[in-house]
Amino acid sequence: MFKASFLAFVLAAVVPGHSLPSITGPTKTPSTATGRLPALGWNSWNAYGCNINEAKVVAAANQFISLGLKSAGYQYVNIDDCWPLKARDSKTKRIVPDPSKFPDGISGVATQVHNLGLKIGIYSDAGTNTCAGYPGSLGNEAIDAATFNDWGIDYLKYDNCNVPSNWTDASSPPGGDWYNSNSAIRYRQMTAALDSVSRPIQFELCIWGQANVWQWGSRVGHSWRMGGDASATWSYITSVINTNSQHLSSVNFFSHNDMDMMEIGNGALTTQEQRTHFAAWAFMKSPILLGTDLSKLSSAQLAIIKNAELLAFHQDSNVGTPAKPFTAFSGMPSTSPPEYYSGTSSKGVHVFIINTSGSTATKTFTFSSVPGLGTSGNFKVHDMWAGTDLSGTHAASSTFSVSVAPHDTVAYFISKA
């Protein structure tokens, strides 16, 4: 331990680019002028990777309008990695947009996006370089925050690649508090820099679920990644749902566990798997950032991502908490991830059920077991996907059963009859 600390001190003293972390780090908190509700938007990475340019970003922004996504509540058009040149400006030390990709600069793109009534996001990294090898912001936080502010940026995705060894964490943080870990301090430095600029910039901590980020994330940013990069696979969807289901007490206004970008439109996910992908992100109140070429979305896919009732639950201005796992009936077996969730919105009580099995299955819950419903009276059930009430009423002591397709999710609003 002494040797490692001494080496870090020597590196900080004699090696350019190495700085010794402060004992506590800045304690500025994220803006309350943005980020109250989970973000709704689009991110370039899953669609284009490093093959990104101004035309594709502006096209996505215009598709927000033409496809009805803006009307549904989507607002952020976010540029991911690979947008700048590989070297900072030698005089100003600012990151320079690649003029071959962004001939109008990022500020020019921001103007076009803002003129559509939308918001724009950018990407950087809490290391020396981004994941694709472009300039990172570690040690240049103030310069980069000022640059993003000047360009009109509304959202910052802040990644976790190329971290110098003296900024990595020991197996346990100082005093057992991960807020004081080197990882948290790297992100806290950008929080402080963002606090010093005039624009409210929503701050996403893309820290891959490391350093117990759900314990301190809301003191540093508005959302934080709960795991590694998304893939268009059922195994990814169920894995991150399972991880997130264990930390839903961290979710509220200004405080969102991020399960990463949407993969709807990518890969070979079934319609049912895409419904579960969207519904779980909605009822857990993860940011929903579409990650595909929007022009290729089918009408069925657009219907999923524009579902008004699920989006209303996700964007509820009066209730910040997500749906959480509950025991649906006596003797219910446990599954990984949990299959039964309940939550409250401004309207009332909701139940969401995931069929994690690969075959059609009957799912059942007892009304009196649903938190918030009570143990007396009669109830009616409303299908949030279809937007219609189911026939009949149900006593509190009765059970409700539904046949759920493989990997599908049903979503209900339950009210007094």
Residue 388 tokens read as 């219609």
- Whether residue 142 sits in one domain with residue 206: yes
Domain total for the chain? 2
- Whether residue 332 sits in one domain with residue 306: no
Name the band, by pLDDT with cuts 50, 70 and 90, for residue 382. very high
Rounded to the nearest 5°, which phi and psi values hold at 349?
-105, 140
Cis check: omega of the bond before 97, within 30 degrees of 0 = no
pLDDT for 12 equals: 41
HSE (CB half, 13 Å, CA atoms) of 208? 9
Beta carbons within 8 Å of 24's beta carbon, 6+ residues apart: 180, 185
pLDDT of 304 above 90:
yes
Q: Please state, in angstroms and rounded to a whole number, the distance separating the CA atoms of residues 280 and 197.
A: 35
HSE (CB half, 13 Å, CA atoms) of 209? 16
- Whether residue 330 sits in one domain with residue 286: no
Q: Is 293 a catalytic residue?
A: no
Rounded to the nearest 5°, which phi and psi values hold at 290?
-60, 145
Specify burial of residue 32 (Cβ count, 10 A radius: 0-12, 13-18, 19+): exposed
- Whether residue 246 sits in one domain with residue 213: yes
- Whether residue 137 sits in one domain with residue 97: yes
Name the band, by pLDDT with cuts 50, 70 and 90, for residue 20. very low
pLDDT for 10 equals: 33
Name the band, by pLDDT with cuts 50, 70 and 90, for residue 57. very high
Can you tell me the mean pLDDT for 90-117? 98
- Whether residue 337 sits in one domain with residue 309: no
Can you tell me the mean pLDDT for 284-307? 98
Domain boundary residue among 266, 292, 315? Answer: 315
pLDDT for 19 equals: 45
- Whether residue 339 sits in one domain with residue 407: yes
Give me the amino acid identity at 307: N
Are the C-beta atoms of residues 202 and 34 closer than 8 Å to each other? yes
Are the C-beta atoms of residues 44 and 96 closer than 8 Å to each other? no
Asked if residue 235 is part of any domain, the answer here is yes
Catalytic residue among 81, 98, 154, 159: 159
Q: What is the pLDDT of residues 107-127, one digit of tens each?
A: 999 999 999 999 999 999 999
Name the E strands within 245-314. Answer: 256-258, 288-290
- Whether residue 287 sits in one domain with residue 408: no
Q: Please state, in angstroms and rounded to a whole number, the distance separating the CA atoms of residues 123 and 128.
A: 14
Residue 405 tokens read as 């397709």
- Whether residue 285 sits in one domain with residue 357: no
Name the band, by pLDDT with cuts 50, 70 and 90, for residue 8. very low
Q: What is the pLDDT of residues 200-237, one digit of tens each?
A: 999 999 999 999 999 999 999 999 999 999 999 999 99
Which residue range is the domain that position 283 belongs to? 40-315
pLDDT of 347 above 50:
yes
Are the C-beta atoms of residues 360 and 286 closer than 8 Å to each other? no
Name the band, by pLDDT with cuts 50, 70 and 90, for residue 171. confident
pLDDT for 388 equals: 98
- Whether residue 385 sits in one domain with residue 361: yes
Asked if residue 5 is part of any domain, the answer here is no
pLDDT of 196 above 60:
yes
pLDDT of 14 above 60:
no
Rounded to the nearest 5°, which phi and psi values hold at 289?
-120, 110
User: Looking up tokens 């749906």, which residue turns up?
Assistant: 323
Name the band, by pLDDT with cuts 50, 70 and 90, for residue 16. very low
Asked if residue 28 is part of any domain, the answer here is no
User: Looking up tokens 């009957």, which residue turns up?
Assistant: 362
Any idea what the CATH number is for the domain that residue 341 is in? 2.60.40.1180
pLDDT for 170 equals: 83
Any idea what the CATH number is for the domain that residue 102 is in? 3.20.20.70
Domain boundary residue among 287, 315, 343? Answer: 315
Can you tell me the mean pLDDT for 270-287? 98
Asked if residue 9 is part of any domain, the answer here is no
pLDDT of 352 above 70:
yes
pLDDT for 22 equals: 44
Asked if residue 20 is part of any domain, the answer here is no
SS (H, E, C) 355-381: CCCCCCEEEEEEHHHCCCCCCCCEEEE
Look at the pTM and tell me if it is higher than 0.85: yes
Asked if residue 281 is part of any domain, the answer here is yes
How confident is the prediction for the chain on average, in pLDDT?
A: 94
Can you tell me the mean pLDDT for 354-359? 98
Can you tell me the mean pLDDT for 233-242? 98
Beta carbons within 8 Å of 355's beta carbon, 6+ residues apart: 339, 361, 363, 404, 405, 406, 407, 408, 409
- Whether residue 198 sits in one domain with residue 55: yes
Q: Is 195 a catalytic residue?
A: no
Pick from 230, 314, 315, 320: which is nearest to 280 by CA? 314
Q: Please state, in angstroms and rounded to a whole number, the distance separating the CA atoms of residues 243 and 5.
A: 33
Q: Please state, in angstroms and rounded to a whole number, the distance separating the CA atoms of residues 138 and 125.
A: 7
pLDDT for 9 equals: 34
pLDDT of 190 above 60:
yes
Domain boundary residue among 291, 315, 339? Answer: 315
pLDDT of 3 above 60:
no
- Whether residue 192 sits in one domain with residue 172: yes
pLDDT of 366 above 60:
yes
Beta carbons within 8 Å of 8's beta carbon, 6+ residues apart: 18, 20, 165, 166
Residue 130 tokens read as 């981004």
> What single string gives the DSSP state of each residue in 287-298?
-EEE-S-GGG--
Sign of CA dihedral 248, 253, 259, 263: positive
Q: Please state, in angstroms and rounded to a whole number, the distance separating the CA atoms of residues 40 and 121.
A: 12
The fraction of the chain above a pLDDT of 90, given in percent, is 93
Asked if residue 261 is part of any domain, the answer here is yes
Number of neighbours of residue 361 by Cβ within 10 angstroms: 16
Catalytic residue among 89, 177, 229, 389: 229
Asked if residue 55 is part of any domain, the answer here is yes
pLDDT of 4 above 90:
no
